[in-house]
Structure 1
Amino acid sequence: MEQFDQSLEVFMNNVGWLAPFLFVLLHLVRPLLFIPVIAVCIAGGYLFGFFEGAFLSFIGLTLMSWISYILVNKFPKFQKRMARLKDKIFPDRTLSVPQVMILRIMPFVHFHLLSLYLIEMTKSLKEYMIISALGLIAPAIIYTAFGRAISQFPWYLTLSMFILLVVVFSFIEKWQNSRPDSNL
């Protein structure tokens, strides 16, 4: 991880004013390179500082959401693959928007899988993009600001944070299921 940050810093310093554009582009090619979202956001905070890094990560993640929408709607094989993954990871489970937003904060949950849930819940690209963008604010900020610190925490503190997110996720599920208008 540290070597990735150093290599990225040298590269970004050499490209000058193109660095923000290339960083957003890195977010878009990240899935092809199997780089976790958290690694790219940490690099953004390291290279650009908190505010600019979080903003650029938000732009990159939002564009990735738009690409997810296109992939699901234009390529049936991709949609079927994501649906199979959904059935494997969350069998017979319907997630709510708040649950998807909590899962977006968890670093190793598949980005396109969560996008599929949001696509299935929304009626249009506009509605999907609004909900998706709102759900990307927290990960962009948290990963950029705290990602470096989280990666340096002792294992028990990282595990505690993960357990806290699982508890919040479960609470939202129980709360949604207990409400008569649980179609959110």
Structure 2
Amino acid sequence: MDLAEFEQAIENFIGHAGLWAPLLFIMLHLIRPLLFLPVIAVCIAGGFLFGFFQGAILSFIGLTLMSYISYMMINKFPRFRSKLAALKDKWFPDRNLTVSQVMILRVMPFVHFHLLSFYLMEMTNTRREYMYYSALGLIAPAILYTAFGRAISEFPWYTTLSMFLLLAAIFSFIDKWQSRKHKLDKT
């Protein structure tokens, strides 16, 4: 089977699945962590299967629901919370991230989804506030991964590395800016 036949088979499946196709795709986002699939892979699939606009919306819905489930799991299972706290101490020791930094990290393809949810939980006071910032931070990855995911995955390694370094520089800039702002607020 060549690529054209594969694409035709996928289009036929989606055409026959009707309303079930988007629901199954959203469910894929929810079981993604159990299948060890990266967020970017599922969003790329959404762009391929549903097109940019519908794929981005479905990915946003799936990621937002996954954020809500993360919130519930972290609050319900103390062992899960302690594992995330240990992971936080390992990856970002003695560092308090801002909401802006978490949003930038959401765009980086291989940063742990639940760890970032944990950070947001620590920064917010209510579930509503958490969901607001979480949803806001999921808009960019849903759009970028759906629209540019395939292109990013096909870039040469040095282009991908350059994009990662650019995001890291923005992250660092926000960290330094927040530190200066915090020092000025103290004086």
**Which of 172, 178, 181 lines up with 1:179 in the alignment?**
181
Aligned residue runs from structure 1 range 31-180, under 5 A:
31-180=33-182
Q: CA deviation at 1:13?
A: 4.9
SS of the residue 1:179 aligns to:
helix
**Which of 28, 31, 49 lines up with 1:29 in the alignment?**
31
TM-score normalised over the length of structure 2:
0.90
Task: Note the residue ranges of structure 2 that are not aligned, 5 or more in a row.
Answer: none
SS of the residue 2:19 aligns to:
helix
Q: CA deviation at 1:15?
A: 2.6
Greater shift, 79-88 or 9-18, is seen at 9-18
Q: CA deviation at 1:16?
A: 2.9
Percent identity, aligned pairs only? 68
Q: CA deviation at 1:9?
A: 3.2
Q: Deviations over 1:118-166 (max 9, x none)?
A: 0000000000000000000000000000000000111111110000000
SS of the residue 1:94 aligns to:
coil
Q: Figure out how many residues of one structure are paired with residues of the other and give that number.
A: 178
- Distance, in Å, in 1 between the alignment partners of 2:10 and 2:42 is 12
Q: CA deviation at 1:92?
A: 1.1
- Distance, in Å, in 1 between the alignment partners of 2:42 and 2:140 is 15
Counterpart AA for 2:54 = E
SS of the residue 2:97 aligns to:
coil
Counterpart AA for 1:87 = D
SS of the residue 1:109 aligns to:
coil
Counterpart AA for 1:37 = V
Task: Note the residue ranges of structure 1 that are not aligned, 5 or more in a row.
Answer: none
Q: CA deviation at 1:14?
A: 5.0
Counterpart AA for 1:39 = A
CA RMSD of aligned residues (A): 1.8
- Distance, in Å, in 2 between the alignment partners of 1:9 and 1:45 is 13
- Distance, in Å, in 1 between the alignment partners of 2:127 and 2:180 is 29
Counterpart AA for 1:59 = I
Counterpart AA for 2:162 = S
Q: Deviations over 1:74-123 (max 9, x none)?
A: 11011001101111111111111000000000000000000000000000
Q: CA deviation at 1:12?
A: 4.1
Question: Computing the radius of gyration over CA atoms, which structure comes out larger, 1 or 2?
Answer: 2
